Chain A
Amino acid sequence: MTDMTATYAALEPSRAEKFRQRTVPLIAFAVLLLVIPLFNPSRSMVTLLNHMGITIVFALSYNMLLGRAGLLSFGHAVYMGLGGYFAVHVMNWVADGSGFWGAVPVFTMPAFGFGAGALAGAVIGWPSCRRAGTPFAMISLGVAELVAAAGFMFDSLFGGEMGISGDRMSGPEFLGLSLGPVDEVYWFIAFWTFIGVLGTYAFTRTPLGKLSEATRDNPERVEFVGYSPQRVRYLVFIFAGAFAGMAGGMSAVQDEIFTPENLSLIPSGAILIATYVGGIRYFTGPIMGAIIMTYMGSNLSDYTAGWLLYLGLMFVGVVMFLPNGIAGIVYGTTDTIRAGRLGEVWQSWLIRLAGLVLIATSVITIVEVAFRWSEGYGEVFEPFGLHLDTTNLLTWVLGVVPLVLGVLLVLKSAKGESK
């Protein structure tokens, strides 16, 4: 019998494994959050980091639906928006400072956002979650359009076009943070990002979290082990709404403003792209996606007018060729290295990398030249001192030859791998 218990215990990951796989990454994440300020980032860098934190929580909440429960939503920004709006209202009550509200620190806003998001999820989820798949997606689209339209109609709640702004420096200080300067806001965001990551991760470890995965894979079977798939989806939906609302509460403090535009299809589409590009099959996928997309969204436009096109190409590329997203590459690579198979694959990887670089060369050439041509100011794309205008033969060579070569190389490496 002792023997048996030992075998049973071996099923579960050992304490050491659990610690290594679950606790260490979380500690590393916390340490990372703590050491970032040591690098003395600029204020715009901190602002960007803060937005990354917000997007990370938002993307993780979105992946509770898309990745874990298999529910494709086109209206997730509704919950972040409603949570955020509520938090801004609370901030204004705090600023008025009477009675109970006067004692609430602004630091706790994400908790209010969490509550409002959960409530919104509970109300809207009730009709939406009765069906999964395409009907769910379509309902979420319809609801998003309706809520966004309502955002412009009810000025007292949403403040019309200009939205509602608040002041994060009101109310009692918490942990000695005035939340005025953006680097103090960093600590606030870091704290709540950690809570968000921890919370969404913990959720995946609960019976409900596991059931949501089961429901994604096989809703019918779930029904025959005693669970209502609709109920599972509904509960997951409420939690996803809650964490989205929490991200909204973080954003309310960081940006001190919410506008009806925050409820619309545009941010909903953006979070879908970020999450998917990151990789919906992995817990860390949305985190990677959020970091990359926030960076690209705010900074890529400094370098090229074609940033939206690059974003679109990247998204379509991921959908077509990398269904597991960036996280898929990262984990695939580390797994291969860990398994000691680098020796077998490095050649094919190198070929593929070379192919991708060639393809990127062509794509960038084409896009940049096309954008300059389209603007018609006679500006010319001049990388590395080359003068690439539309009449230059080299432009066309660079636009076509590396593309063809690159595709051939990638195909070759794919063939090699399948052997």
Chain B
Amino acid sequence: MQNEDMVNRQNTKYWKGLEERENSPEFQKAAENEFPEPLPPADDPDRFFEGKMSVSRRSFLKAAGFSVAGAVLASCNRAPVEKSIPLVSAPRDLVAGTSYWYSSTCAGCQAGCGILAKARDGRPIKIEGNPQHPLSKGGICAVGQAMVLSLYDSRRAQKPLRGGKTTSWQELDREVISRLGELGDDVYLLTGSVTSPSTRAVIDRFLGRFSNSAHVEYDAVSYSAILDAHEQTHGRRALPRYRFDRAEVIVSFNADFLGTWISPVEFTRDYTAGRDLVGNPPRISYHVQLEGRMSLTGSNADRRIRVTPAQSAAILVEVAKKIAAVKGVNLPAVQGKSHLTIDPSVVDDITGRLLESEGKSLLLCGRNDVALQRLVNFVNHALGNYGKTLDIAYPSYQWRGSDRALFGLLEKMKAGRVKALFIAGANPVYNLPDAAAFAEALKDIPLVVTITDHQNETAARSEFVCPVNHPLESWNDAEIAEGLFGMTQPTIPLLGDTRTVRECLSVWMDEGKPDREIVKDYWKKTIFPRWKGTLSFQEFWDQAVHDGFVSVQPRKAPVSSFQLAAVTAPDEDYLPGNKGYALELYQKIGVLDGRHANNPWLQELPDPVTKVTWDNYVSVSPALAKEMGLEEGNVVKVSDGVYSVELPVQVQPGQHDEVVAIAVGYGCKGTERFSRLGPDWIEHVASDEKLLPIGKNAFPFARTNGAVTSFVSAVRLTKTGASSPLALTQTHQTITVPENLGGEARNMVRETTLDDYIKNPRSGNTFEHPVLQLWENDYVYEGHHWAMAIDLGRCTGCSACVIGCQAENNVAVVGRDEVRRRREMHWIRIDRYYSGNEGDVTVMHQPVMCQHCDHAPCESVCPVLATVHSEEGINQQIYNRCVGTRYCANNCPYKVRRFNWFDYWEQGRKENLVLNPDITTRTRGVMEKCSLCVQRIQEAKAEARRHGVELKDGDIKLACEQSCPADAIVFGDMNDPKSRIAELIQHPRHYRMLEEMNFRPTVGYLTKVRNT
């Protein structure tokens, strides 16, 4: 471990943990004072941010000289009397107004990426990736970064409920314990995948006290089939650990591994590590994606083949057959007639590529179908990929759900054989395929306890509701992969009257230990002994808390030899001949399976491919839209015969003509509060007149055969005649202008093929144009000259940077109606362009933020000097000087300036606690834009000066750069010849947008190279 490096990093301070300080009376005092009064509960559905802060709380913040979110910009007529009430005794070692970093583990999904939480004056305000973490390696996705906002969600469950009424923990505990005592057995615990080993231990102890008890884990969007398939072919029910960095050929059937599949940050890091043309030696993998809808992963593929679910199954079968034939393996179960309905050369090509790179290839399938997954296992096995590009002997524990167990539990419930059901971290009433049956069965269970963060559908049907801590308030741990444990530490005292699952169960067992002690004890007993080091347990623990993870000796799991007999042909279901359209359910990158539906940052995050915010919708191919006479926004009814929803249509180039796609995770209870979100004015349009939740629930379209849940279904579409315009952030989809207006392609995005690139590194980037200069001498930047380069070859479009920037720079959420009016505020956007015909399209993702032109057109037009250049080449925007002519935005060729059309900020919202106090919140009527995180530059310079050292390349990481899982963004001083940025500027792939115009942007791009 590089602890020294970490400690020495100038602008980050890692805390060993809160405990030392927590134990001091001063800190206890401070902690109590932090929230001296309970925040009022939220009950007004029309308002979304509402927890009003009491006066005493504000005074408290002022007390330590805290600037409360810098929210008030103007309108101080007479300077008000500012009072300061210092603490009676201040916490030691805490410098007000400076940031402290705590390492922890992300709980945005089960992938367990390492994070650093930046706490300022006692409250976490930013989450970043932990660069030391072996899996995520400093990357972090949009969801992970948005977790900090959900901490301050005013609608988060705060108090235990009984029958819908607030109760106390004592009463709830008493009642639950006595009821459990009466019921005796048939106690079940239903959870999502539990990655925390200490929690699992407590669960085991808890359930061990009852006969006929079981812990059922399921994931709403399930990976059960992969686990089941490995159980059958390798004798071990686990997820293999995929190593995309080692794969030279990647063949993915519907697996959106760069977007939402299993562990997208880890996979993006590894995937882009395998596609590095700047590194030495340069390398690039070959990636084929076969899919029906256009996924983020498909949009990055070197070759993308549009297939229906049935076709993809058929192709997979043919690939398996061919490889079996080449390898001389007899696969009787998959012999027989080919169901292939597309050009067989596809199969030959895939097979050929795979066989060329035996042991360095990777075949994936995103379908939750055991038979398909067994075929995948077979192919990977036959190619010798196990142990190389994927590993089942040292598996991953990120997802553990079992659909079979879930349906078993449902059967027991229906049969009345469940007396007590505890539901934690799951919302089955919302996300089960047969949720209605589950809800019905729930009624007959004598004791239902839900442990939840929000008053969701399931909680509404439970007698007891236990509010759960936010991960940033909790101690926790996670077993992410074999030998790798993540550590979660609290970064703020509890905001509500909440407990972790572990704590609840422990109390109900009457173990009476604080949560941290439970975790610590578990680590002492179970993990510390596996660690081959010389530290004492306390030192080991301290180091784990400090690092946020610990790697111990991995234990090789017993894996059986490959069970060829288990490999069978896929279900008939997938084979051609289905009627209607194939519906593919998928997760959007923001709200995932609905668990983040309460997070407005993620709701407003444009989908990386469709660029739609605040909605789910029916994606159809352009040909299908034409055939049905549909235009974008037209509402269609989608029905599978049992369940139907009405949703607007989104026309998706590159989608298969027989496939429609709907995202799950929408229509959740609680999201009604967003329907009127945004400035209220005369033409404001609510997302739904009846103030219904955002989007529609698509989980009921999932089907189950009792063993696994399938997220593919057959549906019919009917036009309704209604229309509901989508909130899009990009409406022109191509880099070419319309055919009747010239049809030429513009050169803002540049790409080339690998072959051309090898012949000429400047290929695709040869645009030359004489640049004319009106005046002789340019401004000379003597000190630093900040610049940025974005490698389009690495950028996958995952949008982590968008949220990173939003969190860092207090970017306002504007709501669906404002986005629909094209007024989103994101300082960084990711432009997505299609090229090719509408059917088979290739996709480019291009992050665009302020380009910080040295000849900035915006600057010369501002009448009041509200935007001028700094001595270090930054295009500064001075909010308090801006009068709001919007001339700069008009004159910006990149359209990166964002205007505050309304007052988007409201004082007194609990959510405002997430604001970065270093940055002002902009009032209405002023322009804003990317500042190159100038606060970070200033802070780094001050920090260097405080230590009397020179600023080094890499000391300053901008919010977008830091979060990028693909490491596509590089920032630095281009006056420093040894810096990475100076090197990249010299790279033959480097170009600048519109360079012929002589704007001299300091933000540049590197040509994308496709391996075709």
Decide whether A and B are members of one complex: no
